[in-house]
Each structure stands twice: as C-alpha cells, then as structure tokens.
Amino acid sequence: MPRPLSEALREIEGASSPVTGRATDYPAGWYIEPHAHSKHQLIYAVRGVMVVRTDAGRWVVPPTRAIWVVGGMTHEIRCVGEVHMRSLLVAPEAAPRLLDETQAVGISPLLRELIRAAMAVPQPYVPGTRDGRVMRLILDELRALPVLPLHLQMPTDARLVRICEALQRRLDDASTMADWAGRLAVDVKTIQRLFLKETGMTFGQWRQQARLLRALELLATGEKVIDVALALGYDSPSAFATMFRRQFGQTPSQFFAEG
C-alpha cells in the first residue's frame, strides 16, 4: 500500500537537492486527497491514467504524458486503473522559467528513461558526479517539454457551472446553447461571451474537450472505441476518431501505444 500522504509530503519538503525522484505504485481507483507542496512537481506515470484536479481545472494524463504542477498549487489525483507513478520534485530556483504555470506536457523517450534513472539516485546527490549529471540533464530536458491540450478549464459563473456540471454527468447530451439559454432564462450571446471569457473556449469547444478527456479515461480502462464513441454522443466511431485525431494529432490506438 502507498505510504500516508503526510509522510510523503515531509519527505518531499525535506529533500535538499535541486531534483528529487519519487516512485509510488497505486491500486486501481486510488484517490490522493488535495494537498500542496513548496516544490514544483512533474507528475508522470509509466503505467495507468491519472485525473488531476486543481482550482485551475482538470487534466487527464495518460502514459507518455505528464502534468507539471507549480509549487504551492493545491491538487488532487484520481487513479484510473492501476497507476505506477514516477514523480520529479524540482526546487523553484532550479526550475526552467518557461514552466511557470500548471499544464499538461509531453514526455520524450529520453526524458522517460531519465525519470526512471532518477528513481535510483540517492539523495542528496553530488553535482558533477554521474548522478548529478543525470539530474542536470533532466533539468535541460524540462526546458523542451511540449505543452499538450489535456486541460479542461472550469468556469466560476454559477450559470456556466450548472451547464458544465450537467454536461460532465451526461456527455452524450446534445442540448444546444439555445436550449441552455432557455432553461436558464439567459440570452444565448451572454452564455457564449461568458464561456469565452471564463474558459477561453466556445460552448461547443468546451463540450468537445470534456468528451475527449472522458474518452481518454474510458479508453485507458480497455473500453472499445465504438462503445466510447456512442457513450459520448458521437454519431459513429469514425466521427469520434476524426475528432480525436484533430485534437491530439493521433488515433486513439497511436495515442496510447506511443513509446
């Protein structure tokens, strides 16, 4: 069983090296309660899918992807299936300046192997040694991380919250923006303006993103593409696959098989 969160946090905060590796395996359905730490964290899993939530939104993170959580941000994690997490904790003064916000990022084959190697590096390590050079190379690789569209921005306006929560419960709901405007007694243009202001997306784009992120969770548990497509309201598996490829640049099978 994973160690208590309080014990893990004490270890994280107590490490004095610029980069610290931490390996933990979690059983299916494990929930890591909301917490924060002063160091930045690259949350990565060599196996399984994680759903990470913060006040800034929700990310779905499959293997070959990771989420960079800035220090001080409260976050919680839900494991979809069994998860083998391999995290990096990075001291703020050592972190690349480009990584100044919480975001989903791609993991290259080189960085994946460096993360695995970091798990065996004793703390504290000595700069200039083999271990020190591995950790220095990790910092260099972090500067080249590509940002990925795995984020769902949640609104704060009560009317939009009602819409978004309803859509997340029923992602196959085909209600239009006009339908919601009628239910909430709000002008259609008001809803569209608020969606753009609070999420950076239109109503349609937000629903599409919510569907695609839910698809990642379902596909990670072994659901068939046809079942996922129909459950999320797509007319056919090909329509779903086209939308998936347009968003992520790969078919569902390629997305999970990469690396």
- The DSSP bridge partners found for residue 43 are 67
Q: Which domains occur in the chain, in start order?
A: 5-142 (2.60.120.280), 153-257 (1.10.10.60)
The sign one gets for the Cα dihedral 116, 122, 125, 130 is negative
The pTM assigned to this predicted structure is 0.74
- Residue 110: the pLDDT is 92
Each residue's pLDDT tens digit, 170-215: 988 889 999 999 999 999 999 999 999 999 899 999 998 899 888 8
Q: Which one, of 151, 40, 26, lies nearest residue 79 by Cα?
A: 26
Task: Residue 69: count other Cβ atoms within 10 Å of its Cβ.
Answer: 26
pLDDT of residue 102: 87
* Whole-number pLDDT of residue 171: 86
Could you give the angle at which helices 188-199 and 203-220 cross, rounded to 10 degrees? 60
| Alpha-carbon dihedral angle through residues 114, 218, 69, 89, given to the nearest 10 degrees | -30
Tally the residues of the chain.
Answer: 259
Q: For position 48, what pLDDT does the model report?
A: 85
Q: Which residues of the chain have pLDDT under 70?
A: 1, 3, 5-15, 98, 256-259
DSSP readout, 3-43?
PPHHHHHHHHHH--SSEEEEEEEE-TT-EEEEE--SSEEEE
Report whether 194 contacts 55 (CB < 8 A): no
User: What pLDDT does residue 145 have?
Assistant: 84
Q: What is the pLDDT of residue 12?
A: 59
pLDDT at 183: 93
Q: What's the rounded Cα separation, in Å, for the pair 27 and 44?
A: 16
CA angle 139-105-130, nearest 5°? 25
Apex 35 CA angle, 68 and 98, nearest 5 = 20
pLDDT confidence of residue 259: 44
Residue 54, helix vs strand vs coil = strand
